[in-house]
Structure 1
Amino acid sequence: MDVYQRSYCRPIETLVDIFQEYPDEIEYIFKPSCVPLMRCAGCCNDEALECVPTSESNVTMQIMRIKPHQSQHIGEMSFLQHSRCECRPKKDRTKPEKCDKPRR
């Protein structure tokens, strides 16, 4: 059952676009433009469950930040990595939160 173990919910190296992590830094070009991070992925074998992180840590990487026609420098940027994952019930994102307001 090697396939089952390899496809089950776990941290796996994933290439993540830096703009996905830093969407407000659009004035820069980053080299590299994506970084390898451990992120939760995989199957939970139940449609009601999703693979979510239960333990996270920050990792710092040196990234070149280029401001076109102005400057470039290598700086440290921090990224979130997942170190443990678990299958948990999906949060229902389709139903609006129910407010129990008193009726008049």
Structure 2
Amino acid sequence: MDLLQKTTESNMKSQLLVFLSLFCFWTVISEQMPKSMNLEEGLPEDVLRMIAQADIRSIDDLEDLLGVEAKDSPVFRSTYKIGNSKAAGCKTRIVSVEVPRYKVDPTSVGFFLWPSCVEIKRCSGCCNTKTYKCIPSVANYRPFQIAKLTYRYGRKELTIHTVSIREHLSCNCTELARHHPRFPPKYYRQSTDN
């Protein structure tokens, strides 16, 4: 019995050492990697903010905003008109949203809803940089009449319910919260004074 117990303890210690080695390896490698794999990180914050909040509808608009001319191949400029690329800007768009069944009846699953989807305005689009996100600035709940069909004791039963679904009225590009590590960087560094 002692031999089996010693073998099990030895295996557990080996597994723990492998785990700790992998953890140390990952922390050393992650320290050497750039803090963020974001390709936009080399740009100054004020430039990113200016680009994110601007209404850029074409490459020409971007050139005007930055005060620079885009470098491209001469063949491209002569063949294609620069500035005809359109961005899907941050705004409300009509989308199809599934009616949440729990809002009609949270206690049952055996029923049919009509309509099962409704059209409603939701924020979508891009904000020119990855540090900003298109989110609703004003929203309210819009009521919809939904028919619920159930079949009980051999009888069909049709009831009408009012369901409120959140609708976005206007949108803004808003800066995302920055990710902060759980532990300070000094926690991961090993002392060189050994």
Is 1:47 the counterpart of 2:133 in the alignment?
no
Contact 1:21 1:79 in 2 (8 A): no
Q: Which runs of 5+ in 1 are unaligned?
A: 99-104
Instruction: Spell out, residue by residue over 1:11-56, the C-alpha distance to the aligned partner (whole angstroms, 9 max, x if none).
Output: 1111011128849735242111111111111111101111100101
Paired with 1:61 and 1:47, the residues of 2 have a C-alpha distance of 35
Is 1:82 the counterpart of 2:155 in the alignment?
no
Contact 1:30 1:66 in 2 (8 A): yes
Per the alignment, residue 140 of structure 2 pairs with: 57
Is 1:10 the counterpart of 2:72 in the alignment?
no
SS in 2 for 1:8: coil
Instruction: Spell out, residue by residue over 1:46-92, the C-alpha distance to the aligned partner (whole angstroms, 9 max, x if none).
Output: 0111110010112111111123x232212221111000101112245
SS in 2 for 1:44: coil
State the superposition RMSD in angstroms. 3.0
Change (3 A) 1:38 1:18: same
Paired with 2:121 and 2:180, the residues of 1 have a C-alpha distance of 31
Paired with 1:65 and 1:23, the residues of 2 have a C-alpha distance of 8
| Structure possessing the higher relative contact order (Cα contacts under 8 Å, 6 or more residues apart) | 1
Question: Percent same amino acid at aligned positions?
Answer: 24
Q: Which runs of 5+ in 2 are unaligned?
A: 1-56, 59-85, 184-194
Displaced runs of 4+ in structure 1, greater than 4 A? 94-98
Paired with 1:76 and 1:12, the residues of 2 have a C-alpha distance of 23
Structure with bigger strand share is 1
Q: Across the two proteins, how many residue pairs are aligned to each other?
A: 94
Larger Rg: 2
TM-score by length of 1: 0.72
